[in-house]
Structure 1
């Protein structure tokens, strides 16, 4: 490893382990390397356009992106614009790997973080429209979809939580401020499967009765992924891929500790290390998908096309927050969008009428 890192001006920073991933019993250990020396100062920011994707003059866009990348020291940024069923722009800037100085390409894949919630909500819509479940279906307890999970030591209000509450972030508990879902939480670092879910259940400490208000929650969407699995008797990602993504030629995968093919490297400016702070495989239905920017734009085109029919439930304003539907933000201008932001990655999927946009990028470098 020392030979591999020689000449990179990086230094070993810490040794860390991550449990879970594809194997619930395996803990992988990593040496974290750190460098404070990379900067765009004095460098040309490379960019790459997907061949055949545009005839647009990108000069003004290039200038604006370069200004922001230099100001915020963003390692990479990828933008895709979809209009009337066609990709009219797909462009990337910067490096997909700082150590190797690999040029970012529109074919690179990024963790899309909470944009995953839109995908999960579309999966729930499939089940509601097929009358397998309803928004009023209870999730926990003897009459719930996930009745096999032990709620005997949970707050009694958990038995009132419905599918709709989880979709709308109105379950009353599991606020993101509690950070229960992140790997560096001592209680969850080595938990997987049922043990992790039941830890979440025991940690349900509601601030209000279900359905009363909005309280954004990653864990709510983790449970929605389990609702999909229990209802379909199939793997969450397999169901989403087979029913939503593959029929519309959208490529996406759930990420893992190890990068998948064409996935970028991730960087973070603080102690929230992108490889150890959170696990895409644990946060699958909430924040686990990995996609190209073009695929996110096409996903939002699919949602836009069917928003008043098959995906109607996503665009209905929720009771707790009128600007949030179910798995998607509702803009005052009629737009639909969702932001994704976790250690090492940020992005937004956006749709308004005939135009869909995604841009994904790394936050500020180390």
Structure 2
């Protein structure tokens, strides 16, 4: 759909407002079970910041500019969703609420797999690059539910990005401080490689912005180049700052002899639940195998012993004084005749 009219004309976006209101109300409801006024006040501040970033990203004027007029606006919108709104909203959720949400089997399996650093990097890169391909941007610029779908997808990718980093997510596959720092540096470099294409391209890559790049006083090519620079550099201040904080925390913990990431009871409870489920699955497999006919049962091979790889050698007995083995039927350890009796 081609852009029409004034790029700065006001549009209320009622569905976007409703979505932000529902997200805010859901997090507020989850915060009711939080104990302690200081903790609750901190969570309320995090929620206010996350809801504000989400509102700016999906509402006028940034949403209109990102949909039809400027690639730079689209990049800024994506940075707000993945690097600001997602971590603040996730941090505003109490750990108890996250534990209840992820307690079912499928949710727990998804949490365990998606918070693996390698999986998180691969999935976030797939979403970040895939939603910036020209066909995807043309689909997003159609507006309506198309833009809402992409916004929700990017917000979910932001949750995946910050899942291995935030400490209060119970059951997350969280690496150590050094691993978190390396993970954040990788996330700041790998998913943004497409921004280099924006910078060095000789012509506009997106037909959706080819005729409307002048909405902010830039040509389409200049808008694309600046969008590439912002997309490449915009991730560094946030991700590298968090990485440096993790390294500083690990150094302080090493100097004081404390644990940089103390184990929480919710994490212990989740690990025990996973171990119990694995044990239950193993017992169920054994019962199913026991009900099979003997010919259909799997043969369990014993672990090979080390002696099986060497020939069996009898232990050497005591040597005979004459170099000959003792006679058969005699005890080699029995005392011999006393020479004084002769």
Bin of the TM-score, shorter chain as denominator length: under 0.3
Which protein has greater RCO, CA pairs closer than 8 Å, 6+ apart?
1
Which TM-score applies when normalising by structure 2? 0.24
Q: Which has the larger radius of gyration?
A: 2
The answer to which structure has the higher helix fraction is 2
Q: Which has the higher strand share?
A: 1
